[in-house]
Structure 1
Amino acid sequence: MVKRSLQASLVGIQKAKKAFAYQGWTQENLAFKVNLKTRQPIWRFFSGQSVERQIFIEICSVLLLNWREITVNPPEEFTQSKELAPAQFLDIDALVKQVKAQRFEKIQDQCGTLQLLDISRLVKIDEIYSDVNILEEIASFQWLEFADLQNLTSKEFECFGLGEVSQRQIAGITAVETYSKLRVLGKPGTGKTTFLQHLAIQCNRGRFAANRIPIFVTLRDFADESKEIGEFDLLNYIREELFTSGISDVSVLETLLWEGRVLLLLDGLDEVLDRQSKAVVNNIRRLAEKYQKNMFVVTCRTGAKAFSLRRFTDVEIAPLNQDQIVAFAQKWFTALTKTNILDRQQQAVEFIEKLNLPENLQFRRLAVTPLFLHLACWVFHQQNKFPIQKTKFYKQCLDLLLSKWDETKGIERDEVYQGFLFPQKLKLLSQVASATFEQGNYFFEQRIVEQYIKDYICDLPNASTEPEELELDSEGILKAIELQHGLLTQRVQGIFSFSCLTFHEYLTARKIVASYNLEVLERLVSHITEPRWREIFLLTVAMLGSADFLVQLMKQRIDALVAQDPYLQKFLTWASQKSRVAPLKPAETRAFFLALARTPHLTPHFAFACIFDRGIFLDAVLDNLVIECTIECKSNFADAHACNNALSHALTIVQDAGLRQALQQLQDQLPDSEIRERFQTWWQTSYPAWMEELKAMLTKHRNIEHHWHFSPEQEQVLQQYYDANQLLIDCLNGNCQVTRVVRQEIEAGLLLPMKELSEREWQGLRPGRGGSALRRFPLL
C-alpha cells in the first residue's frame, strides 16, 4: 500500500528550512502558495510530524526540493524505478497510432474550425490561419527608468516593445519545439487560441510532434466543471476527455503520459476566475512536474502574467509583420468572399495597397493584431475602400475589447468595475488618454494612471471615502483593464501606455468632444502647429455634430501665426497678386506661388496645377530657368547647355511679345560653349550682369520675385503656416459637419495677408455659389 502520509527527516528539515529562509516567506505565505486554508500543515512539516502525502510533496515542490530527499524512508512504490507504464502496452508507437486513430475526428471537430466575428459560417482553420512569430524577451518584464521613455516619438512608440527593432523573433512552432513547457502570452485578439488549435491539427495530421497525442483543454471549462463537482483534478478531466473518444481504459492515458507521448494544449489561463485560478495553476504544475517528458503549452493574456507557472518558459506573440499581414489578407479574401478567384486575389492586392497609404496609417497600426486585421478586411470588403469616417471603426474596435469580445467567447470575468457600463469605461479611458496626451506622455507611471482612475471613481455614486479602499480599487481596475481589454498595457515594469497610439488619439479626441466648450476648443487650437496633434484635430472635427466653430478658430489661429511679421505679410501679398490673373481657384493659385518662391526645386511636382493655366506653367518654367542658370555658378559647358535649353523651352511657351523679345536677347548673349576660352571669359566678366538682367526681366514681365530671403525663424514659421493650412483643408475634406457658408468663407480666405482678410471682413464679402475645389496644396 502507498503510504498516506509522509514525514520529514532531520536532515530534510534543515534543507527545507534553508530553502524557506532563502525565499523570505512566512508560513502563511507558504500555505497560500500550496493552496492551504491554514498554516497548520506547514508547522507540522517543519516540526517533523506526519503530513498528508500530497501536501508534503506540494510543499517540497514549492520550495524547489526533491521530496524523496526530504522524507524519512521514502516508500519504495514511489521511487522512479517502480513508476512504470502498464506492462500490457509494450509497443508504445502502436498505442500512439491506435489512440490517434480513435481521436482523429474528435480533434478535427474540436480544433479544425473557427467562428470569426461577424461571419455567419464556420471557417476551416487551414483556410485562414497564418503563422505567428514569438518574442522570447517580453518587454513588460524589463526594468527601465521613466525618463528613458519620455522623449520617444510616435513612430518610436509604435516600435517599442513590439520586437520590430531589437528583439529576435522565432516562429511559433519553433518555440514549442524548443521549450517543452511553454506559456504563450498575448493581448486580446492576437490569436492565442487559434495558435493552439493549429498545433493540435498539425499534430493530429502528423505534421508536427507526430509521435504525440494532441489533447486540447479549455481551462475555463475545466474550472467550471471542477467547481460543480467540488474537486479540481486535471488528470481526471483529461481521462474523461479520452473517454468521449471511446478510450475507457485509464491505464492508456497513464502509459502515454509516462512515456512522454502527449502534447497537452491548455487554453485561456486568464479566463479562469480568480477564486479558481490557484487550484487550476496547481493542477497544471503538478501534472507538468510529474510527467515531465510531455510537451505543455499554456496560453494566457499578457496582463495575467502574475499567475505563476514555475519551470514554464514565458514568451509573447509578436505583432504581425508586413509579410504576415499580406498572407492573412490573401487567405481572408480567398476564403470569405463569394466572387471568383481572380476577383478575390485582386481585392486582396487592393486591400494591401490602400492599407499602406499614408492616410490609412491608423488602420495599419491596428492591423498588426489578427482580430482588428480581420475587422479591417471585413469593412474593406463591404465598400472596397477604408471608411472615411474612421471614428466609427475605432468605436467598433473599442466595443469589441471592452465588452463584446469576452461575450462572444462566453467568458465570465471577476467583477472589478462594480457595475461599470460600456459608456462609463469609455469615459474613464478617455479621461486617462486626454490627461496623458495633453502632457505629451505616451508612457505613464503606474501610480499616475492609478491616480487618474481614483479621481474618476471618487465622483461615482456610493464611492468609498476611505483612501486605502480607493487605492485598492484603482489598482484593481487598472489590472482589470490590462487583463480583460488590453487597452492599457504595462510596457516595462511599473510603466504603462495605451496598447495602440490610435486608441490613445481617438479617446483623447472623444474627451474633447464630450467636454465641448470654448476653453476646451481654444486649448486644442493652441496645438495646431504640433504634428503629434494632427490626428486629434481630424478625429475631433469628424465627431462634432457641427464643426463650424472649431474650423473658424483654427483659421484664426493659423492667420495669427504670420500676422505680426511685415516681411511674411509682404510675401503673402505678392502671392495674392499673382493669384488674381489665373483662372484656378485663388487659394490653390496662392499656394502654388508661395511654394514656387520658397521651394523652387519642387516645381517639377506642380504639373497637376500647371495644366489648368498656361501662365502658371510658364512661371514654373521661368523659375526653373533661373535655377539652371545659377547652379553654384560653375563655368562649365554642361551648365551653359542647361541655360540654353531652359531658355529655348521658355521661348516655345511664351506668348507675350515683349517677354519673348527680352528672352531672345538674353539667349543671343550666351557665348558659344564649344569655344572654352571665350566661354570662360564671358562667364567671369559678363555673367553676373546677364543674370541680374534675367531676374529683372522676370520681375517686370511676370512679377516673379527671386529675392525672398527668409531667416531660419521665418522659415520655421512659414512651414508651420503651410502645415496648419493643410491640416485645416484636410479637416474640411474629411467626413465633418461644416456648413457651406463657413466652408466657402474659409476657402476664399486661405493664405491671404491680414490686410486683405480685414478688408473682406469689413466689406462683408462672401464667396459665390459653387462647390469647394480644395485639394492638397502642391507645396506640401
Structure 2
Amino acid sequence: MPLIESAIGGVAGTVIDTALKAGGAVANQIKGAYTETQAQQKAFAAAQEYVKRYDQRHCQVKVMPGLMKEPLPLEDIYTAVKLLDEQSIHYFAGLDDLEETYRAKGRRSFGLEESEPRDGIQVASAEQYLMVLGGPGIGKSTFLRKIGLEALRKNGQIERDCIPVLIELKELRDETIDLKQKIAAEFATCGFPEADAFTEASLAQGKLLVLLDGLDEVPTRNLNQVVEHIEKFVDAHSNNAFVASCRTAAYRGSHGTFLKRFTDVTLAEFDDEQIEQFIRRWFRSALDLEAGTADIYWQLLQKDEHKATKELAQTPLLLTFLCLVYDRENLLPTQRSALYGKALDILLSEWAAQKRLEQDPIYKGFHPDLEKVLLAQIAYDSFEQDQLFFLKDDIIRRISEFLADTLDAPKHLDGAAVLRAIERQQGILVERATNIHSFSHLTLQEYLAAFHIKEEGLDAELIAHHLTGRRWREVFLLVTGLQGNKAIEFLKAIETTACTYVAKHPKLITLVQWADTSTIDSLGQFNPLAKRAAAIASAIDIAIDIAIAIDSAIYGAIYSASASASAIAIYSARAIASAIYSAIAIDIDIDIASAIASDIASARAIAIDRASARVSAIDRAIDRARAIDGITSIFMTNPQLADLPSQLKRMSTIVPADEASTEDWQNWANELEALWLEALGLTQADLTFNKEEAEALQNYLYATELLLKCKDAAVRIPKQAWAELEARLLTYPS
C-alpha cells in the first residue's frame, strides 16, 4: 500500500480516538465547536494533511546539492540500520589492546564493538526513551525520520499506537523554550482542530512519539537550558515515547549524562550487507536494472584496489557521495586522491554548512584550510610511528605545538578546545576508548598523510624509508595522485630505489639481465615488460622447486607459521611477478608462470607424500608440453626450447610406478628440472637463493609492481617519459 494511504489509515484512527477520549475542558474545546461527525471529518482531514506534510518535510532526501539534482524518497533508499549497546564498546581498553584488536580483525574498520548489533527499528519500538548516538553522516536524522514513518503507517514496524512529531532541536535558538508549543505548532500547520487542546489531550493519553533530532546542533549558549527543559518535559509526560539523537562526541563530552532516563545506543557503521543493500536500492531505475549497474558497482568495490574506497562506504553520508560519483561517471576513478579529498571536504565543511549548523565559536579563527594542515600533520606523524590509535594528551600536545608554531593562529585557542571542536563538528577524530582517539576512517588518515608529504616535500623520505612497507601502499598511490604534472619524477625516484635492492646481489643482477636477454626477440607481440615479468615468474617457479629439493620440509611448511623467511619471500616474489605480468598483458590469456615447472613440484610432492596420485604427474607433464606455444611467445627460441615438447612427452611415458621408491621419484623430478633449466638457459646455482637474496628479490618486484599502480593513480604522465621509464623496468645495465 502506498505510503500516504497507509499512513492516513494508521494515524487517522489515533487522531480521532484521541479527540473523542479527551476529557474535561480539553474535550469541550475539541468537541464543543463541532458535531461528532464534523470532528471526525476534521480529524481525518488533519491526519491526511499531517501525513502529506511529514512526507514532504522529512521523507525527501537531498544531500550534496552540487551532485544530487533532485531529492529521492526516503523509502526508496533507506537501508535498515543496526544499533550497538553503548556499554559494548571498548571505552576502557588500553592503547595496545586497541591496536591489537584492530590488526587482528583483518578489515579496514575502526569499529571495535563486542556485542551483536540489533535491528534499529525493533529497538526503537521496544524502548520508550531512546538516545541514538553516532558520528556525523552516520544516519541519525534519517533513522529518526524512518521511525516516524513507521509510526504513521497502519501496520508499521512501530507497534505503539502513537502520532510521531519530529522536532529539529537546532531551531531552539530563542531564550524561551517550549516543546509543547513546538508540538502544537506542528499540528496547527496541518489543520488539526484546536491544536493546543489536541496536543494537551495527546500528551495526557500518552499518544505522542516525540522525535528530538540533533541535540548536538543546539547552539552552545542554549544547550544547558534545552537539556533541562527536555528532561522536565519527559518527566511531566512520561507516558509518551521519546527518541533523541546526538553526535557521540558531544554527548560523551558533556558533564554527566544529558538525558538520564534514556537508553543510550550507537548507530553501527554499515557492514558489507548494508552497503550492498544501499547500492541496490540506489541503482534500481529501469535503466539501471537492465544494465545491472548495482551488481557492477558492488563487484567493483570488492576489488583490492578499491578497499580503501569501500571503507568510506561504511558511513552512509560518504556512501551516498560515492553512489553519486558512480552514477555520474559510471566508474570509480583510479585517481583516488581527488575522490578522497572531496570526501574530506564534505566532513570538514560542506555537511555542516548544508545543515545550516551554528558553528562552534572556535571556528571563527580556525578555518578549514588550517584545520586540514593540522590533521595532515597528525596523520603523518601517527603513520610514521605506526600508530592508528593515540592518547588524548598526546594529540592535545600536538595540536598545541602546531598552534604555537602557526603565525596567524588565533591566540585564544588551546589544544583541548580544538580537539573537542573537531570531534563534535566533523567527527574526523573519534574517541574510541576513554582518552584514546583515532581517525574516523583509515582512508582519510592515509589521504591526510599523503597530503602532508606532498605539501612538505617529503617524497624522498617516503621512498627511502617506506617503499616496501605494505601499510604505506595506499599513501604512495595518493601521493602520486597529488603530484599533478610532477608524478613522473616521483615514479623515477621509485625506480631508482627499486634498483638498489638487486644491485647488492650479483645473482639477482644475473636473473634480471637473463629475463631481458632471453625475451628480447621472442615471438610474442605484447609488452616487453610483461615478457620480462613472466620470465622472472617462471624462473622463480623453478627456484621454488629447487628449494623443495634441497629441503623437503619446505613443501609442508610453506603455508604454515614454520615456513622459513626465505621460502615466504620467494613465494611472495612469484606472486608479485605474476601480478606485474597480468596487469600489463591484459590481452594474453595464458598464465605462463603457472605453465612452467609445476609438474616438477608435483613430482617432488609425490616423493614427499606418497598419498599423492601418480596420474597427476603424468597429466601435468602433458599439459606443460601443450603450453609450449605460450612459452615460446615469452622466450627466444633455441634448440633446447624447441625440443622441450617431445622431451616432456617422453618424460610422461617413464613416470615411476605407484610402488616406486622415493629416490626414483626424486630422480624423475631432477630430470624434469634439468630439462627446464637447459631449455631456459639457466643453472641450478642461478636460482638457489639465500634469505637475503630472496627478500631483496621480493622487495624489488614489489617496488616495481607498486610503481605500475602509482602510474595508474597519477593525474598525468607524459607518454614519452613513461615509455622511457617502462623500458628500464625489470632490466639491469650490463
Retained in 2: the 8 A contact 1:258–1:291?
yes
The CA deviation at 1:432 is 1.4
Structure 2: runs of 5 or more not aligned = 1-21, 32-38, 545-573, 630-636
Equivalent-residue separation in structure 2 for 1:204 and 1:662 (angstroms)? 78
Q: Once the two structures are superposed, what CA deviation does each residue of 1:253-292 show, in whole Å capped at 9, x if it has no partner?
A: 2332233221000111111111100011011111112222
Query: In structure 1, what residue type is equivalent to 2:129?
Result: K
CA shift in 2, pair 1:724/1:285, >3 Å: same
The reply to whether residue 566 of structure 1 matches residue 540 of structure 2 is: no
Retained in 1: the 8 A contact 2:139–2:316?
yes
Retained in 2: the 8 A contact 1:619–1:704?
no
Aligned equivalent of 1:730: 709
CA shift in 2, pair 1:217/1:458, >3 Å: same
Query: In structure 1, what residue type is equivalent to 2:64?
Result: L
The CA deviation at 1:407 is 1.5
Aligned equivalent of 2:519: 579
Percentage of identical aligned residues:
27
The CA deviation at 1:651 is 5.3
Equivalent-residue separation in structure 2 for 1:298 and 1:195 (angstroms)? 11
Equivalent-residue separation in structure 2 for 1:671 and 1:396 (angstroms)? 64
Give the counterpart of 1:234 among 162, 171, 179: 179
Q: Once the two structures are superposed, what CA deviation does each residue of 1:446-490 show, in whole Å capped at 9, x if it has no partner?
A: 11111221122223446577xxx65xx211111111111111111
Query: In structure 2, what residue type is equivalent to 1:419?
Result: G
CA shift in 2, pair 1:278/1:590, >3 Å: same
Aligned equivalent of 2:689: 710
The reply to whether residue 297 of structure 1 matches residue 243 of structure 2 is: yes
Aligned equivalent of 2:601: 627
Equivalent-residue separation in structure 1 for 2:401 and 2:663 (angstroms)? 77
Report SS of the residue matched to 1:149.
helix
Query: In structure 2, what residue type is equivalent to 1:700?
Result: E
The CA deviation at 1:561 is 1.8
Equivalent-residue separation in structure 2 for 1:213 and 1:662 (angstroms)? 83
Equivalent-residue separation in structure 1 for 2:71 and 2:648 (angstroms)? 77
Query: In structure 1, what residue type is equivalent to 2:324?
Result: W
Equivalent-residue separation in structure 2 for 1:409 and 1:298 (angstroms)? 17
Equivalent-residue separation in structure 1 for 2:389 and 2:611 (angstroms)? 58
The reply to whether residue 594 of structure 1 matches residue 572 of structure 2 is: no
The reply to whether residue 548 of structure 1 matches residue 488 of structure 2 is: yes
Equivalent-residue separation in structure 2 for 1:362 and 1:619 (angstroms)? 30
The reply to whether residue 720 of structure 1 matches residue 699 of structure 2 is: yes
Equivalent-residue separation in structure 1 for 2:245 and 2:398 (angstroms)? 31
Q: CA RMSD in A?
A: 3.6
Retained in 2: the 8 A contact 1:116–1:123?
no
Retained in 2: the 8 A contact 1:644–1:667?
no
The reply to whether residue 116 of structure 1 matches residue 63 of structure 2 is: yes
CA shift in 2, pair 1:288/1:691, >3 Å: closer
Query: In structure 2, what residue type is equivalent to 1:237?
Result: K
Give the counterpart of 1:189 among 137, 153, 176: 137
Retained in 2: the 8 A contact 1:587–1:750?
yes
Aligned equivalent of 2:460: 521
Retained in 2: the 8 A contact 1:637–1:673?
no
CA shift in 2, pair 1:624/1:416, >3 Å: same
Aligned equivalent of 1:450: 396
Correspondence list, 1:160-199, <5 A: 162=111, 166-199=114-147
Correspondence list, 1:600-749, <5 A: 621=595, 623-633=597-607, 640-649=614-623, 653=628, 680=659, 691-706=669-684, 708-749=687-728
Give the counterpart of 1:105 among 29, 52, 59: 52
Equivalent-residue separation in structure 2 for 1:317 and 1:276 (angstroms)? 26
Report SS of the residue matched to 2:364.
coil
Report SS of the residue matched to 1:134.
strand
CA shift in 2, pair 1:512/1:235, >3 Å: same
Equivalent-residue separation in structure 2 for 1:719 and 1:256 (angstroms)? 72
Retained in 2: the 8 A contact 1:181–1:312?
yes
Query: In structure 2, what residue type is equivalent to 1:232?
Result: I
Correspondence list, 1:271-350, <5 A: 271-305=217-251, 306-307=253-254, 308-334=258-284, 340=287, 342-343=289-290, 346-350=292-296
Give the counterpart of 1:487 among 428, 449, 474: 428
Equivalent-residue separation in structure 2 for 1:289 and 1:346 (angstroms)? 52
Q: Normalization by structure 1: what TM-score?
A: 0.75
Equivalent-residue separation in structure 2 for 1:140 and 1:690 (angstroms)? 60
CA shift in 2, pair 1:593/1:446, >3 Å: same
Structure 1: runs of 5 or more not aligned = 1-83, 760-780
The CA deviation at 1:249 is 5.7
Query: In structure 2, what residue type is equivalent to 1:235?
Result: K
CA shift in 2, pair 1:441/1:257, >3 Å: same
Report SS of the residue matched to 2:361.
coil
Q: Which has the larger radius of gyration?
A: 1
The reply to whether residue 478 of structure 1 matches residue 419 of structure 2 is: yes
The reply to whether residue 133 of structure 1 matches residue 82 of structure 2 is: yes
CA shift in 2, pair 1:685/1:148, >3 Å: closer
Query: In structure 2, what residue type is equivalent to 1:130?
Result: T
The CA deviation at 1:613 is 9.5
Retained in 2: the 8 A contact 1:618–1:650?
no
State the aligned residue count. Answer: 650
Aligned equivalent of 1:498: 439
Equivalent-residue separation in structure 1 for 2:611 and 2:103 (angstroms)? 48
The reply to whether residue 259 of structure 1 matches residue 186 of structure 2 is: no
Report SS of the residue matched to 1:188.
coil
CA shift in 2, pair 1:158/1:494, >3 Å: farther
Equivalent-residue separation in structure 1 for 2:615 and 2:361 (angstroms)? 80
CA shift in 2, pair 1:649/1:524, >3 Å: closer
Retained in 1: the 8 A contact 2:527–2:585?
no
Report SS of the residue matched to 1:752.
coil
CA shift in 2, pair 1:495/1:703, >3 Å: same
Q: Normalization by structure 2: what TM-score?
A: 0.80
Report SS of the residue matched to 2:729.
coil
